[in-house]
Amino acid sequence: MTDLPEKFLASMREILGDEYESFLTEFKDHRHYGLRVNTSKITKEEFERISPFHLTPVPWVKNGYYYRREDQPAGHPFYAAGLYYLQEPSAMTPASRLSVCPGDRVLDLCAAPGGKATAMAADLAGQGQLVANDINTARARALLRNLELFGISNCFVTNEPPYVLAEKFPEYFDKIMVDAPCSGEGMFRKNPAVVDAWLEKGPDYFSALQKEIVLYAADMLKAGGRMFYSTCTFSPLENEGVISWLLEQRPEMKIIPMEDYEGFSPGISSFQGVTFHPDCSMTRRIWPHHMEGEGHFLALLEKEDSHDGEKTSNEKKARKKGKGKAAKDRSTKPGKEQRRIIDEFFSLLKGTFASWRSYDDIEIRGDKVYYVPEKSYENKGIHFLRNGVYLGDMKKNRFEPSQPFALILSEKSFSNCLYFSQDDERLKAYLRGETLQVEDLTAVGSGTEDKKGLQNGWYLILVDRYSLGFGKLVGNTLKNKYPAGWRMKY
């Protein structure tokens, strides 16, 4: 691997003492590969049964697994079906310790590329709402793609700096994740290019940024709510130092114990003559020479009730300010002709999705159709990439369903399904965007084993009973509707 900066090595000698040499030996060794099962689509037991990979459980994350490099899960159709997220094992920990529950209002403040956001969205189980934010537009788009891949229907993807969201949502969220931008020391062996970035912007730069972010996050947290702060760096300036500073600035914030694991190490008490808050002993560190994972810092905090009258007044001002920026709502309800066109496709929806045909929660923005089960927020002046489920596009005299819609559906919610086994070579052709011949297939009615002949029309394409996308059957030919921007290269 790339030579490590001497300044970094000196700080690690001070932190680790007698453990320094064992750390350095392990740190220069091989990296670990992990995936986290999407439990909103498949149980971990079922995934273990159908998976073709060499899996070993990550012992401290209930739905996390190690895999071998040669498995190459990113190229498997199961990846395109959103059955798992590829994630370094240590990075799975924060979302597993925040304990998101169905019905929570959840914010992932620095969410891209989506590892923590997809995990928390799965924990919501379709109830409550996730606001997933990233300040960088390109990264926010990657975040949106991963949430769509996971089939998440209750997310609001925003692209704002933290102070803007803090204006809009004072004491609004039950749970907040702050996986803070950091110097990335824990990723040096995974991505040697991070070393060059560290030399340009190191712990001093990032600790100032992190202090700003955590204050905004704390102000958006409800009394009694919980916030998780994490980084993938070893620097105490970015870890215990930031948490100690937060506790000074926001006395209502308290560190609380998290679900522990025998390999976790307690936070350190001092560094370079600076003594940290004594409760930092309840924070946790993941060291690569103690566990099979990269470096990570973990802190779980809770907000106590506050009766600060001045703060309440400031929150009211923030709400008023936010309302003053409200943008005009350009969405409309579908008209009679639009309903007729959409309903040709909606007639194929089954189960709970059949209720969407009431159109109570359907909106049209331009030529795009969305399902928005409730008005998400009172404040409209937020730059968002997605609010609601993108169902598809209104074309001339027809409705074209979207790929995100396909990934929300299943064999239980769509009448016409075409089943492929994971080793059927036609799946790779489908994911490349090619037309398929399917004269040998039969469709199976949702929830039954009654086979029926193929009829022309829209079909949900399934790999081992999990949705991949749409196709339109004409005779024995399946016209591929897998969008160009999603296609895989084999």
Q: Could you please report the per-residue DSSP string of 156-183?
A: EEE---HHHHHHH-TT-EEEEEEE----
Residues in the chain: 490
Distance CA 49, CA 31 (A): 26
* pLDDT above 80: residue 325: no
Residue 357 lies in a domain: yes
The single-letter DSSP state of residue 42 is: S
Residue 58 lies in a domain: no
Question: What does the pLDDT average to over 248-273?
Answer: 97
Distance CA 480, CA 461 (A): 10
372 and 392 both lie in a single domain:
yes
344: part of which helix (H) or strand (E)? helix 336-346
pLDDT for the residue 442: 65
Contact 356, 362 (CB under 8 A): yes
List the 84-86 sheet strands across, edge first: 56-57, 64-66, 34-37, 84-86
Distance CA 241, CA 251 (A): 15
Residue 358 lies in a domain: yes
Residue 309 lies in a domain: no
Confidence of residue 191 (pLDDT cuts 50, 70, 90): confident
**365 DSSP β-pair partners:** 368
- Nearest by Cα to 298 from 140, 97, 148: 97
Distance CA 239, CA 211 (A): 10
Task: Kindly report the CATH number assigned to the domain that includes residue 474.
Answer: 2.30.130.60
Contacts of 166 (CB under 8 A, 6+ apart): 216, 219, 220, 318
Query: Tokens 């040998």 belong to which residue?
Result: 440
Per the structure, how many domains does the chain have? 2
Q: Per the structure block, which two tokens stand in for 64?
A: 């996390």
Question: What does the pLDDT average to over 109-124?
Answer: 97
Residue 264 lies in a domain: no
Residue 34 lies in a domain: no
403 and 420 both lie in a single domain:
no
**In b/e form, how buried is each residue of 326-354, taking b as 16+ CB within 10 angstroms?**
eeeeeeeebeeebeebbeebbebbbeebe
The per-residue DSSP string of 437-488 comes to E-TT--EE-TTS--EE---SEEEEEEETTEEEEEEEEETTEEEE---GGG--
**230 DSSP β-pair partners:** 179, 298
Angle at 475 between CA 419 and CA 414, to 5 degrees: 40
Task: Please say if 232 is a catalytic residue.
Answer: yes
Q: Looking at 182, 232, 280, 417, which residue is catalytic?
A: 232
Backbone φ and ψ for 394, nearest 5 degrees, come out as -85, 115
The residue that leads in pLDDT, 47 or 317, is 47
Q: List the domain range (segments joined by +) for residue 397.
A: 336-380+387-407
pLDDT for the residue 373: 77
Distance CA 361, CA 370 (A): 8
* pLDDT above 50: residue 309: no
Confidence of residue 306 (pLDDT cuts 50, 70, 90): low
Residue 124 lies in a domain: no
Contact 399, 392 (CB under 8 A): yes
Question: What does the pLDDT average to over 145-166?
Answer: 96
Q: What is the pTM of this model?
A: 0.92
Residue 427 lies in a domain: yes
